[in-house]
Amino acid sequence: MYCRNCGNVMDNNAVVCVKCGVPRGSGTNFCPNCGTNTVPGAVVCVNCGVSLTAPTNNAPTGLVPQKSKMAAGLLGIFLGSLGVHNFYLGYTGKAVAQLLISLLSCGFLAVASEIWGLVEGIMILTGSINKDGKGNPLKD
């Protein structure tokens, strides 16, 4: 991995570049995959072809797999009382809360949790919720 600001070789676990001090993934001057200079405004690296617009959170090639908006929305609508859609998107705290509300109340409060999941499912499908738990955009 290379620093997008100065082109210095970075460790894959580094949070900031040791040469310039810029947070990992910040900058637009160099390709994070091959380290060559990039053309201003380019969408892909002209040297190696990697996407320059995709988030670089934990993937060594600079690409992060995106979660499906449709899958998350449908999980929220149909299994929202169990928080399955929030587990899928990486919102573990909310997911555990929905699951515990349903299970610990022996199903009496499952209706409230289901309404919560239904509303979130609709919000996901309409685009009001458009990022997963790590901040990566959902794909259509």
- Are both 28 and 83 inside the same structural domain? no
Percent of the chain at pLDDT exceeding 70: 92
Query: How sure is the predictor about 62, in pLDDT bands with cuts at 50, 70 and 90?
Result: very low
Choosing from 43, 63, 83, the residue where a domain stops is 63
Token digits of residue 123: 């919000």
- Are both 4 and 25 inside the same structural domain? yes
Three-state secondary structure call for residue 2: strand
Choosing from 44, 63, 82, the residue where a domain stops is 63
Cα of 88 vs its chain's centroid, Å: 11
In a domain, 49, yes or no: yes
Choosing from 63, 98, 114, the residue where a domain stops is 63
Give the C-alpha distances (Å, rounded to integers) separating 30 from 5, 9, 24, 64, 80. Answer: 6, 11, 12, 18, 43
| Predicted pLDDT of residue 64 | 67
- Are both 23 and 58 inside the same structural domain? yes
Three-state secondary structure call for residue 72: helix
The tens digit of pLDDT for each residue in 85-130 reads 999 999 999 999 999 999 999 989 989 999 999 999 999 999 999 9
In DSSP notation, 76-137 reads HHHHGGGTHHHHHHT-HHHHHHHHHHHHHTTTTTHHHHHHHHHHHHHHHHHTSS-B-TTSPB
Domain containing 28 equals: 1-63
- Are both 107 and 59 inside the same structural domain? no
DSSP-derived secondary structure letter, 57: S
Total tally of structural domains belonging to the chain: 2
User: Any residues with CB less than 8 A from the CB of 74 and at least 6 apart, and which?
Assistant: 121
Q: Is the pLDDT of residue 60 over 50?
A: no
The tens digit of pLDDT for each residue in 69-85 reads 999 999 999 999 999 99
